[in-house]
Chain A
Amino acid sequence: ADLAAIESAGTVKIGMLVDFPPFGITDMSGNPDGYDADVAKALAESMGVTAQIVPVTGPNRIPYLLSGQVDVLVASLGITAERAEKVDFSNPYAGISIAVYGDSGLDVADKAGLSGQSISVARASTQDTGVTAVAPEGTDIMRFDDDATAVQALMSGQVKLIGASNVVMSQIAAATGDRFNKKFDLSSQVQGVAVAPGSDALLAKINDFVAEAKSDGTLDAIHEKWLGEPLPEFVKNPK
């Protein structure tokens, strides 16, 4: 999208997930909220425009952006090589680490142990890519539309394993005690603000914002508010 056009319109359309707590949720009056929402608002403020937040869904995030229905995605979009072919990413503004979790009774120590198991992931998510990359022959990867459904498959016993983020798993642990534990790490994943290809001026502006928000503590504060700790090191200083 064109920076000048956004500035003259006075609003920036920002797509974010609303079903990905704690990054994207809706508050009780139905408005988008969460880590991404706070970042989005701060971004708009730094651009001197108002934010118009558009709820998007995991599988459709990129179509929203590419079709121009939104100008910017602050939608927990993990930075991956395949995605980078379609969209342009800013420097990381958030991150999660993803791992394989599963029934405490189940003995799976590494990727070889996945063979013969069913494992649920959210379709088109970073976990999906991560699990698919390491899974040996004979792994049954079951792809659901979002994290919650993947978690539901785990909780209902339809699968014994799940590829998920630390954030999601800490919530599950809060609800289920020690029924599930971590099996092995997959990767840590940084997330970037995404724009459509060719929006260089806009991207530069966003990168300025990210750098400033990291240094002045804005992102730390927001992270503290939603995830109970400051922005992790692997996001602050990505490799």
Chain B
Amino acid sequence: MIREFTSAEVLFIVMAVRWTLILSAIAFLGGALGGLLIALTRTSASKGLRRMAAGFIQVFQGTPLLMQLFLVYFGLAVVGLPINPLLAAAVALTLHASAYLGEIWRGAIEAVPSGQSEAASALSLSYRDRMRHVVLPQALRLAIAPTVGFLVQLIKGTSLASIIGFTELTRAGQIINNATFQPFLVFGTVAALYFILCWPLSLLARHMEARMRRAITR
């Protein structure tokens, strides 16, 4: 049953990129919403809220994504909340991404000089308006490069969703390798595909970071 590593196998692996992209997109969208919430909570005036957000970040940055996926998928089912793999992956990856993006964006919000928020307060703008019109637009500029950088990490992280049954890129590679015993070709192909997905994003992040540095030193 050993198969040759033919174009059909390559195609199989390439098709699996679809899942990698879907999972990444879900994680990123979920993480963006959750992350914004966490970032705002983390920088809010209430000490209790700040603590809660810090705890959330600590838990989800302090445990392997692999375990998070496992516990969400099997754990919820065990306690009587059966959950389908896509939803489980969405939940776990969203929690994971929320913690990381929340931390990145908190940094960006805090990097906006406090004088900006003070000036807005002195102009009698409400918290909402201050955030919406003054702080967040400036934080966004600072955050965009590290956010794109994190997206790369997220894309690679979706490979772990294979443990709950997704035939995404890494898993497809393993399956083909198990049939062909050609690790170099198979994992070379897989690595190349990840590189093609991630490298442009890395370049973009670096480009934006450099542009921002120039803007700041100007």
The interface of chain A, by Cβ under 8 A from chain B, is: 18-22, 25-26, 28, 30, 54-57, 60, 63-64, 66-69, 146-148, 151-152, 155-156, 171-172, 174-175
Interface centre among A22, A30, A151 (most CB of B within 10 A): A30
Closest to B184 in A: A156
- Least distance between B48 CB and chain A CB atoms (Å): 35
User: A19, A55, A56: which contacts B178 (Cβ < 8 A)?
Assistant: A19
Any A CB within 8 A of the CB of B98? no
A174 to B4, CA, bound (A): 12
Residues in chain A near residue B1, CB distance under 8 A: 21-22, 25, 171
The interface of chain B, by Cβ under 8 A from chain A, is: 1-2, 8, 11-12, 15-16, 70, 73-75, 77-78, 82, 162-165, 167, 174-175, 177-179, 181, 183
Q: Are B77 and A25 in contact (CB under 8 A)?
A: no
- Least distance between B93 CB and chain A CB atoms (Å): 18
Closest to B77 in A: A67
Q: Are B174 and A146 in contact (CB under 8 A)?
A: yes
Given contacts A21-B179, A155-B181, contact A28 B163 (CB under 8 A): no
State the main secondary structure of chain B at its contact with A: helix
User: A55, A63, A69: which contacts B82 (Cβ < 8 A)?
Assistant: A69
Residues in chain B near residue A172, CB distance under 8 A: 2, 181
Given contacts A67-B78, A69-B82, A174-B2, contact A28 B165 (CB under 8 A): no
Q: Are A148 and B177 in contact (CB under 8 A)?
A: yes
Instruction: Report the tally of A-B residue pairs with Cβ distances under 8 A.
Output: 70
Closest to B165 in A: A55
Q: Are A30 and B181 in contact (CB under 8 A)?
A: no
- Least distance between B66 CB and chain A CB atoms (Å): 11
A237 to B165, CA, bound (A): 34
Q: Are A148 and B74 in contact (CB under 8 A)?
A: no
Q: Are A67 and B74 in contact (CB under 8 A)?
A: yes
Residues in chain B near residue A28, CB distance under 8 A: 8, 11-12
A151 to B174, CA, bound (A): 13
Given contacts A28-B8, A30-B12, contact A69 B178 (CB under 8 A): no
User: B77, B175, B178: which contacts A68 (Cβ < 8 A)?
Assistant: B77
User: B11, B75, B82, B183: which contacts A152 (Cβ < 8 A)?
Assistant: B183
Q: What are 6 A-to-B residue pairs whose CB atoms are below 8 Å?
A: A21-B178, A21-B179, A56-B165, A152-B177, A172-B2, A175-B181
Given contacts A26-B167, A174-B2, contact A19 B175 (CB under 8 A): yes
Residues in chain A near residue B163, CB distance under 8 A: 57, 60
User: B2, B167, B177: which contacts A171 (Cβ < 8 A)?
Assistant: B2
